[in-house]
């Protein structure tokens, strides 16, 4: 598990040429132009064996799904590839991390783009304005049964640039809480249905941590943030959004941040992770291992940890990140489908790309088995989804989703998250005050705002 990214997205590796495991014959399937592009852009993690054909008839798809998620995507592609209307798919799996986004940009800028690719929705602002993506034809998507009303407004609102839709969300993957149901029951934290009861105030969450610590005899709430480039930001962003304050980063600056609200949030984070009831010095893997080992009653993690936690033997519960301030908000991101820019896209292939995206969305129940919330709402309405436990317990997180600010330098695997985390980590470790941490966050944001967008 990379501490800054979901487990299914392995960190990028250096090097050039085809990755180990991609034989010469398989590599040459891509033809002269394709091979040149791949050699220029570095190693691939692998290519799906589900590609039923290569050449002009096959739909080229890039994604970053490895491990269990990679196998689930294989299953979904297999499902839409069967029958007389099935797709021929050449799937390329690239390494997760900054390198993925560099390769995606290079392919679009260099005229070697795939037909469809996966992009974190939080990264859209760095791609659509620079002409690296093409917009979707909503009439064409509607023809295949997918429309705006099939998505929550909180997520759909982030798919647009200058009024056009450039991304179609596959999922919402939120930062949530997992809890030991037995410990939570003994601590009096469950509602009559056996689910985590609403908190409603900072004090309620502080008290919950103390009660869980009393029950476990060790710690209450576990949170790994030390040396992590995203975790502290995920927690801060959720809590800050709950205050109702805006975190706006206008081009050129200065940052528009409610410093009073930000200090209030950081101060609460310091109270919550006081180093006694709830440890304040854990890294990501230590927090995960501590929860699995019964050394805490609750853990704040991404939903992508669900498969690991389900194997732990814990009577596992999960819930959206607790609302403790004025309104509900949950930090999320979204794996979304995009159309990398092509100078002269073939209309028939572009139509197939739209049909492919629509058909994959309709396979989202498979995707939900790993913990992701399907962005395509009709799947959430299926009885089979309600039977997924604990996934159904946190599905409402998609309705109150909060993503990174829509700036070219923000989003998944970005330096923005890292620069926000550094002062937050220092505050949680007791090395700086909440006020100083917030001032540094504002300075870091303003520094980034003064930098020009390299692809604009």
| Helix, strand, or coil (residue 423) | helix
Dihedral angle of Cα 377, 381, 386, 390, to the nearest 10 degrees? 10
Per-position pLDDT tens, the chain of length 456: 333 344 444 332 222 222 323 222 222 222 222 333 333 333 333 344 343 333 447 999 999 999 999 999 999 999 999 999 999 999 999 998 889 999 999 999 988 899 999 999 999 999 999 999 999 999 999 999 999 999 999 999 999 999 999 999 999 999 999 999 999 999 999 999 999 999 999 999 999 999 999 999 999 999 999 999 999 999 999 999 999 999 999 999 999 999 999 999 999 999 999 999 999 999 999 999 999 999 999 999 999 999 999 999 999 999 999 999 999 999 999 999 999 999 999 999 999 999 999 999 999 999 999 999 999 999 999 999 999 999 999 999 999 999 999 999 999 999 999 999 999 999 999 999 999 999 999 999 999 999 998 866
Same domain, 324 and 352: no
Q: Residue 242's pLDDT is what? A: 98
Same domain, 105 and 192: no
The verdict on residue 302 lying in a domain is yes
Q: Residue 17's pLDDT is what? A: 28
Total structural domains within the chain: 2
Q: Which residues, other chains included, contact 50 with Cβ-Cβ below 8 Å and sequence gap of 6+?
A: 74, 77, 78, 81, 89, 91
Q: Residue 35's pLDDT is what? A: 30
Same domain, 71 and 95: yes
The verdict on residue 2 lying in a domain is no
The verdict on residue 1 lying in a domain is no
- Contact of 230 with 421, CB cutoff 8 Å: yes
In which domain, by residue range, is 180 found? 175-331+414-449
The verdict on residue 4 lying in a domain is no
User: Which DSSP string do the residues of 302-360 spell out, in sequence order?
Assistant: EGGGHHHHHTS---EEEEEPPP-SSS--EEEE-EEEEEE--SS--HHHHHHHHHHHHHH
Residues in the chain: 456
Same domain, 268 and 283: yes
Rounded Cα distance between 254 and 250, Å, is 7
Same domain, 225 and 248: yes
The verdict on residue 14 lying in a domain is no
- Contact of 310 with 227, CB cutoff 8 Å: no
Rounded Cα distance between 336 and 105, Å, is 16
Same domain, 31 and 89: yes
Rounded Cα distance between 172 and 117, Å, is 17
Question: What is the pTM for the complete model shown?
Answer: 0.88
- Contact of 442 with 248, CB cutoff 8 Å: no
Same domain, 230 and 119: no
**Pairing relation of β-strands 171-180 and 373-374?**
antiparallel
Same domain, 314 and 423: yes
| Helix, strand, or coil (residue 302) | strand
Residue located via tokens 């992508």:
304
Query: Which H/E stretch holds residue 440?
Result: helix 434-449
Here the CATH number for the domain that contains residue 246 is 3.40.190.10
Q: Residue 55's pLDDT is what? A: 40
The verdict on residue 386 lying in a domain is yes
Measured in degrees and rounded to the nearest 5, phi and psi for residue 330 equal: -130, 130
Tokens found for residue 371: 């913990």
The verdict on residue 55 lying in a domain is yes
Same domain, 145 and 273: no
Same domain, 235 and 373: no
Same domain, 146 and 182: no
């Amino acid at each position: 598990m990379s501490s800054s990214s979901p487990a299914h997205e392995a960190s990028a590796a250096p090097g050039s040429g085809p990755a180990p495991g991609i034989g010469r014959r398989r590599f040459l399937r891509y033809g002269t132009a394709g091979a040149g592009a791949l050699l220029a852009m570095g190693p691939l993690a692998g290519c799906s064996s589900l590609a039923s054909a290569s050449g002009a008839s096959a739909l080229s798809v890039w994604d970053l799904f490895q491990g269990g998620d990679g196998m689930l995507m294989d299953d979904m592609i297999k499902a839409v590839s069967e029958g007389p209307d099935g797709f021929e798919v050449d799937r390329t799996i690239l390494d997760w991390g900054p390198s993925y986004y560099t390769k995606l940009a290079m392919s679009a800028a260099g005229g070697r783009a795939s037909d469809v690719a996966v992009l974190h929705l939080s990264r859209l602002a760095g791609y659509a304005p620079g002409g690296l993506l093409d917009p979707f034809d909503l009439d064409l998507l509607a023809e295949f049964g997918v429309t705006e009303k099939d998505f929550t407004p909180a997520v759909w609102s982030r798919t647009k640039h200058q009024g056009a839709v450039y991304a179609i969300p596959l999922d919402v993957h939120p930062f949530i809480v997992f809890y030991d149901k037995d410990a939570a029951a003994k601590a009096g934290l469950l509602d009559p249905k056996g689910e985590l009861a609403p908190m409603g105030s900072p004090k309620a969450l502080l008290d919950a941590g103390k009660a869980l610590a009393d029950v476990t005899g060790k710690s209450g709430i576990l949170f790994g943030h030390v040396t992590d480039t995203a975790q502290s930001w995920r927690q801060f962003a959720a809590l800050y959004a709950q205050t109702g304050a805006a975190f706006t980063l206008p081009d050129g600056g200065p940052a528009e941040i409610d410093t009073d609200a930000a200090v209030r949030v950081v101060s609460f984070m310091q109270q919550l992770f006081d180093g006694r009831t709830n440890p304040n010095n854990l890294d990501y893997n230590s927090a995960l291992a501590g929860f699995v080992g019964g050394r805490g009653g609750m853990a704040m993690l991404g939903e992508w940890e669900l498969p690991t936690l389900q194997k732990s033997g814990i009577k596992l519960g999960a819930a959206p990140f607790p609302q403790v301030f004025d309104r509900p908000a949950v930090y999320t991101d979204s794996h979304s489908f995009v159309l990398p820019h092509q100078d002269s896209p073939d209309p028939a292939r572009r139509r197939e790309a739209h049909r492919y995206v629509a058909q994959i969305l309709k396979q989202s129940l498979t995707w939900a088995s790993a913990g992701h919330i399907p962005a395509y709402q009709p799947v959430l309405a299926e009885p089979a989804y309600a039977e997924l436990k604990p996934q159904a317990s946190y599905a409402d997180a998609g309705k109150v989703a909060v993503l990174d600010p829509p700036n070219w330098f923000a989003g998944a695997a970005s330096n923005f998250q890292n620069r926000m985390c550094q002062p937050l980590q220092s505050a949680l470790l007791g090395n700086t005050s909440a006020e100083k941490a917030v001032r540094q966050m504002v300075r870091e944001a303003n520094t980034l705002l003064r930098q020009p967008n390299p692809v604009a």
